[in-house]
Amino acid sequence: MPHIIVENLVKTFQIAQRQPGVWGALRGVMHRNYRQITALDGISFTIEPGELIGYIGPNGAGKSTTVKVLSGILVPDSGRCEILGRVPWKERIAHVAQIGVVFGQRTQLWWDLPVIESFDLLRDIYRVDHHQYAQTRDEMIAILNLESLLDIPVRQLSLGQRMRCDLAAALIHRPSILFLDEPTIGLDVVSKLAVRDFIKRLNQERDVTVILTTHDMDDIEALCTRVMVIGQGQILSDGPLENLRARVTTERRLIVDLEGTEDITDPDASVVLRDGHRVHLTFDPDRVATADLIARITAQHPVRDLFVENTPIEEIISRLYAENR
Amino acid sequence: MPKIANRTSSLAIKSYIAVFSARFRTLLQYRAAAFAGFGTQLFWGLLRVMIFEAFYRSSTAPQPMTVDEVVTYIWLGQAFLVLIPLRADPDVRDMVRSGNVVYELVRPANLYFFWYSRAIAQRTAPGVFRALPMFITASLFFNLQMPPNIPATCTWLVSMLFAVLISAAITNLLNISLLWTISGEGISYLVFGLTWIFSGIIIPLPFFPDWAQATINILPFRYIMDIPFRFYLGHIPPEQIWYHLPFQIAYLIALITTGHLILTRGIHRLVAQGG
Amino acid sequence: MTNALRLYMHYLSQSIRSQMQYRASFIMLSFGHFLVTGIEFLAIASLFARFKHIQGWALPEVAFLYGLINISFAFADAASRGFDIFGTMVKSGDFDRLLLRPRSTALQLAGHELTLRRIGRLVQGLIVFSWASYTLDIAWSVPKIYLVFIAIFGGACLFIGLMIIQATIAFWTTESLELMNTMTYGGVETAQYPLPIYRTYFRKFFTYIVPLACVNYLPSLAILERGDPLGFPVVLQWVAPLICIIFLIVALQIWKIGVRHYRSTGS
């Protein structure tokens, strides 16, 4: 049975509009115009236990509205949503006891308290049994390497340290679903890798369903088996990363480092970028086999090095949006 | 040389005016705040008027002001409540908290006057929605009387102008005190408390005991409300403006100079700490 | 219920611990509160020096009203900090975090902070109250002591209820809640003087809509053994403060409506 079922979710907001200038401000005092914004325009999907899903889209596309509905904060206008057999907004308390949420830009820890005290408070908030709490806490401390941070007030932690502590905090009550909103934003490379590694382990070893919203495409490539793309309140694409690639474009990229700086011309490939000795070519693997293309180019030009890449995911996404505009 | 100096200073003044008008416009947008402010001031005015009327009903002893004067004084206080430097500029507070205040240092303008322009806007913008409607309402329905004569009106207006400038200078001191995060909060509260009591908003200053008058008279806070209001009432003779005006100007200069000095030290400290 | 109470105690002990990290600020602000409220009382005293009494109530009797209402307000003010800063929580999105936890939002907000620096007002209120009781030479008895306690408790409930309603309004407009300050701070100032001095509509408002008279004026009549020109039944003087518990319950129901609104509009 799926962990999450979403059918035709719709949510609109009313936004007050302000008029420009002093006169506009004065008039705004008397009368205000409202504009309707459709944040979710009928989205549907199901998520099976243990999936690790990347949920991506530009700001204002409806990402955070979806997460708010799924986590029980927001009541949608219409549509169905069932998570672990419950309607999130109807049984908020029972529902949120089963999920964990981490916001990259905000901490849920108590600013002035040592980390360990925040964990203790969360134990009481989530009514976690003391024995189970001690066990989970110690595991988290070991995996996330928090031992040395426990007695430090949260306000003194670095962003990377805080994120590790926040991850542990979100798991104190052993949720079966975890929502991560930009968990790697602003982190240094080492912390980023540590966070990714932890998410992967959590998903594989404990079978926690993870829904990850992010702007960092490296997160997606490193972690997600399935990617959902949202734009203007609709799901534009849903499936494995390769399918998304294939749907938008089958093209690949061939990057060649030449000995000289001459031009490359080939009937099956086109140059998209030149940078000194380096040439970026795109080609369609359905029209020409990669091996043939490489053979032809190396035959015609003295080549230092060459490699094949998939189209960067950013580019795929931006094309997808362009298509749906 | 003088020409260039002249141009840069007029550019600087232009930038302060721009800051002022941007802030002024933003503050006009707080529609609910304007309505709420009106209601709040109406409440406080009515409450204080009722208390004083009850006192006057209970005693026939001679008082420093007549009941009509007190009523007008109270309504003026409510109409111009915004002159009380209630708190520091919330934007400055956020800047200091987030550490973004260091970016303020790269502006090609004097930071003190930059913030001061904002503070003046903070003290005047609400006037449009608060002072004027309150003034009109109180004069129509609640016995707020007009000044007795033209000299009283003129001296009132002059001292009001300086009241705004002094109030904004105190607000700016609150802004600057935020650079010391921990003590700033305490200082803000104390300054607010002192202004609250010694400006005349809780009771007209002449009602304080005679032995306290000497202390009250040396504090700058009475120039925010009490002195202008008593010029309005004719309670202080108009020719006394030549006595009070130099004091107002002196206080203004002193407050601005102090603010400047503290700000310089605060920035020094900030830079020395490396943000 | 006991579980909620335990969590609340846990919140409070952590809140106290957090505040103790800023001891200098705490001492300064408490002292500031003490000083400002103290001078405010001196302002009242100076009016009595000039007018002698206000409709038959002299300074010590007014000081009794003053002490009583300020003590209850100090408690309420300290306990409801979470509701006080609630507007900024909605604006910044931090309120969402509370909705993500399996507890009632009201409980979590109540546990947000116990503001210790309100002790400044509390101490000042206690001093004025003690001075008044001493000067008035009150004949204390068990029922009178009981009445003081339920008056303070009822007053705290009333003010917390008002602050909850004030916070609820922030779901609709986060811009300013100044108007509600007239009920809290304004209520305190109103209750510092005997109710009969006010005009009828004002009196009725603070009796029947915001039952301020129930926690301060009516119990004080019983304790000071004064006649009531307003003619409320005497029994009311002894039970009125309990009405404010109902007020708090109603406020909590209004709060729930606010949360429901927030969850459907997402503000």
In the prediction, which pLDDT does C141 show?
A: 95
Residues B152-162 as b or e (16 or more Cβ within 10 Å = b): bbebbebbbeb
What rounded mean pLDDT belongs to chain A?
88
For range B251-269, the mean pLDDT = 91
Best C100, C109, C116, C174 residue to mutate vs chain A (most A CBs within 10 Å) = C100
DSSP assigned state of A157: S
Chain A residues within 8 A of B29 when measuring between CB atoms: 18, 25, 28
* pLDDT over 50 (residue A191): yes
* pLDDT over 60 (residue B167): yes
Decide if C210 contacts C174 (C-beta within 8 A): no
* pLDDT over 70 (residue C241): yes
Q: Which of A191-205, B88-102, C41-55 has the lowest mean pLDDT?
A: B88-102
In the prediction, which pLDDT does B259 show?
A: 94
Report yes or no: A15 at the C interface, CB cutoff 8 Å.
Answer: no
Decide if A299 contacts A316 (C-beta within 8 A): no
Cα B21 to Cα A8, A24, B163: the distances in Å are 47, 14, 20
Report yes or no: A117 at the C interface, CB cutoff 8 Å.
Answer: yes
For range C68-80, the mean pLDDT = 95
Nearest CB neighbour to A124, from listed C10, C99, C263: C10
Say yes or no for a CB contact (<8 Å) between A26 and B28. yes
Q: Which residue on chain A is closest to C12 by alpha carbon? A: A121
Q: Which of A12-21, B150-159, C27-36 has the lowest mean pLDDT?
A: A12-21
| Closest by Cα among A208, A206, A213 to A185 | A213
* Burial label, B64 (beta-carbon count in 10 A; 0-12, 13-18, 19+): middle
Percent of chain B with pLDDT over 70: 90
Query: How many beta carbons lie within 10 A of that of residue B101, not counting itself?
Result: 20
Dump pLDDT digits (tens) for A269-324. 888 888 888 888 888 888 888 888 888 888 888 888 888 887 777 777 788 888 77
Chain C residues within 8 A of B196 when measuring between CB atoms: 36
Cα A277 to Cα A295, A299, A300: the distances in Å are 19, 17, 15
Report yes or no: B25 at the A interface, CB cutoff 8 Å.
Answer: yes
| Min Cα–Cα distance to chain B from C12, Å | 22
In the prediction, which pLDDT does A21 show?
A: 56
- Phi and psi of A100, rounded to 5°? -125, 145
Interface of C with B (CB under 8 A): 22, 24-25, 28-29, 32-33, 35-36, 39-40, 43, 46-47, 49-56, 173, 175-179, 181-182, 186, 189-190, 193, 197-199, 202
Q: Which residue on chain C is closest to A71 by alpha carbon? A: C100
Work out how many domains chain B is built from and give that number.
Answer: 1
In the prediction, which pLDDT does B30 show?
A: 64
| Chains contacting A (3 or more CB pairs within 8 Å) | B, C
Assign domain A250-312 to a CATH class: alpha beta
Say yes or no for a CB contact (<8 Å) between B190 and C35. yes
Best B21, B29, B38, B98 residue to mutate vs chain A (most A CBs within 10 Å) = B29
| Closest by Cα among B121, B123, B130 to B33 | B130
Dump pLDDT digits (tens) for C137-178. 999 999 999 999 999 999 999 999 999 998 998 888 765 567
Chain A residues within 8 A of B28 when measuring between CB atoms: 22, 25-26, 29
Say yes or no for a CB contact (<8 Å) between B129 and A29. yes
In the prediction, which pLDDT does A243 show?
A: 84
Q: Which residue on chain C is closest to B184 by alpha carbon? A: C25
Say yes or no for a CB contact (<8 Å) between B186 and C186. no
In the prediction, which pLDDT does A27 show?
A: 61
Model confidence at A53, pLDDT cuts 50, 70, 90, reads very high
Q: Which of A42-56, A311-325, B51-65 has the lowest mean pLDDT?
A: A311-325
Best A91, A103, A125 residue to mutate vs chain C (most C CBs within 10 Å) = A125
Work out how many domains chain C is built from and give that number.
Answer: 1
Which residues on neighbouring strands pair with residue A47, listed in sequence order? A4
Chain A residues within 8 A of C266 when measuring between CB atoms: 11, 13, 65, 68, 73-74
Q: Which residue on chain A is closest to C19 by alpha carbon? A: A112
| Closest by Cα among A238, A228, A197, A224 to A62 | A228
| Min Cα–Cα distance to chain B from C175, Å | 6
Q: Across the A/C interface, how many CB contacts are shorter than 8 Å? A: 68
Say yes or no for a CB contact (<8 Å) between C100 and A73. yes
Chain A residues within 8 A of B18 when measuring between CB atoms: none
Q: Which of A299-303, B107-111, B190-194 has the lowest mean pLDDT?
A: B107-111
Say yes or no for a CB contact (<8 Å) between A29 and B31. yes
| Chains contacting B (3 or more CB pairs within 8 Å) | A, C
Report yes or no: A190 at the B interface, CB cutoff 8 Å.
Answer: no
Say yes or no for a CB contact (<8 Å) between B25 and A25. yes
DSSP assigned state of A153: B
In the prediction, which pLDDT does B125 show?
A: 79
Strands A278-283 and A99-103: what pairing? Answer: unpaired
In the prediction, which pLDDT does C258 show?
A: 93
* pLDDT over 60 (residue B12): yes
Element (H, E) at B262: helix B241-273
Say yes or no for a CB contact (<8 Å) between A28 and B29. yes
Model confidence at B38, pLDDT cuts 50, 70, 90, reads confident
Chain B residues within 8 A of C32 when measuring between CB atoms: 186, 189-190, 193
Quote the CA–CA distance of C136 and A229 in Å, as a whole number: 76
Chain C residues within 8 A of A72 when measuring between CB atoms: 99-100
State the residue range of the domain holding C94. 2-265
Residues A69-85 as b or e (16 or more Cβ within 10 Å = b): bbbbbbbbeebebbbbe
Say yes or no for a CB contact (<8 Å) between A18 and B29. yes
Q: Which residue on chain A is closest to B33 by alpha carbon? A: A29
Q: Which residue on chain A is closest to C7 by alpha carbon? A: A124
For range A96-125, the mean pLDDT = 93
- Amino acid sitting at position C250: V
Q: What is the DSSP string of A4-29?
A: EEEEEEEEEEEEEE--SHHHHHHHHH
| Chains contacting C (3 or more CB pairs within 8 Å) | A, B
Quote the CA–CA distance of A84 and C131 in Å, as a whole number: 63
Nearest CB neighbour to A112, from listed C10, C18, C101: C18
Cα A4 to Cα A96, A154, A209: the distances in Å are 14, 33, 10
Report yes or no: A18 at the B interface, CB cutoff 8 Å.
Answer: yes
State the residue range of the domain holding B99. 2-273
DSSP assigned state of A86: B
In the prediction, which pLDDT does B27 show?
A: 67
What rounded mean pLDDT belongs to chain C?
91
In the prediction, which pLDDT does B166 show?
A: 96
Q: Which residue on chain A is closest to B30 by alpha carbon? A: A29
Torsion angle in degrees (nearest 10) through CA of A71, A74, A75, A76: -90
Q: Across the A/B interface, how many CB contacts are shorter than 8 Å? A: 17
Better pLDDT: B213 or B271: B213
Could you say which architecture CATH assigns to the domain A4-8+43-246? 3-Layer(aba) Sandwich (3.40)
**Segments making up each domain of chain A, as ranges:** 4-8+43-246, 250-312
Report yes or no: A129 at the C interface, CB cutoff 8 Å.
Answer: no
ipTM summary value: 0.91
